[in-house]
A and B are shown apart, each in its own frame.
Chain A
């Protein structure tokens, strides 16, 4: 198999693009895809400080690596979720990545915040799926860190497979408000929110894993122990079966939605957001989603004490 660009021996095969690349040409291809996504979607410029949410996984570390290589101003943000040895290994690899490259990494440990709540405890107490609680906590602390650090932009490592799986889930249940917001760039809807961007939305998991491997990035290969049975994995499996039969389907599914479908759902601006009475972050009601979840933990703990 020959490299599509230079005709040397290929080391990477991308069925979705009907192409193969050697190592240098794949790295060029990957970085160019990310840079084009940033430019075409007006995500951010080289004059803006970007806070990159990093988990220690292939996607977020690949993203940070690309942004550094392309000359963007970045700092990393690692959120310690308190998920046993998985979180410890994730933090260790993220810290090592930053230290080896001389990058600034901000670390927020959930069990050291004012609420002192790690994900396993929240999920067990509220009986919610861990991924649901995790998503709420991540959004809150990402927003908070970006705001406190004065960053105009927060970048996450969501890739094409993540976005296609999310789209499939939103379509299966016709989640109209979520379809209206499924974009690679979310502009702030409140002064205490910052712009949120997903520069990897056009690159597949295979591509980000390949990039990380070829760049020698030591990422966490193990899966989060809470992800077993997660609905998103079911959607990803379905899409991978489709992709196997019809290469390029995932990219077409997402990009055709963004170009032709999403504008039909983007009916208008959200209702005006107020501020959470507890933490001051934007909220549709009296409390934001994060503080509602923290309050639920408190209520359930009190009930457990009363019944014991």
Chain B
């Protein structure tokens, strides 16, 4: 599957059917720090994605001092 990491704009490919929670963990990303987006829907940890999917992992952390 194609995975786009935002805001880095990085594109990676991962093969096989995976649980979303396992996929996020395998990429070294802490759960709750990204939204997992497929098209116009958000995915929860218990859903599965496979090679036909194109997803976006969008970080939710903003920084600096307001």
**Which residues from chain A sit less than 8 Å from chain B, CB to CB?**
1, 10-13, 15-16, 20, 57-59, 130-132, 134-135, 138, 156-158, 161-162, 204-206, 208-210, 213-214, 221-224, 226-227, 230-233, 236, 240-241, 243-244
Contact = CB atoms under 8 A, between A and B. Distances in A.
Contacts of B42: 11-12, 210, 213-214
B65 A1 contact: no
A230 B61 CA distance: 12
B66 A162 contact: yes
A161 B61 contact: yes
A244 B31 contact: yes
A198 B11 CA distance: 36
Contact residues of A: prevailing secondary structure: helix
A247 to B, nearest CB: 8
A206 B63 contact: no
Contact of A226 (B43, B60, B64): B64
Interface in B26-57: 30-33, 35, 37, 41-47
A15 B63 contact: no
A232 B63 contact: yes
A206 B65 contact: no
Contacts of A214: 42
B18 interface: no
Give the size category of B's interface with A.
20 to 34
Nearest to B46: A1
Contact of A205 (B46, B60, B65): B60
B32 A233 contact: no
A244 B30 contact: yes
B62 to A, nearest CB: 6
Contacts of B45: 1, 13
28 contacts: A1-B44, A1-B47, A11-B41, A11-B42, A11-B43, A12-B44, A13-B44, A58-B62, A131-B64, A131-B65, A132-B65, A134-B65, A156-B66, A205-B60, A205-B62, A206-B35, A208-B60, A209-B35, A213-B58, A226-B64, A230-B64, A231-B65, A232-B63, A236-B63, A240-B30, A240-B33, A241-B30, A244-B32
Contacts of A157: 66
Contact of B32 (A10, A15, A131, A221): A15
Contacts of B7: 221-223
B58 A221 contact: yes
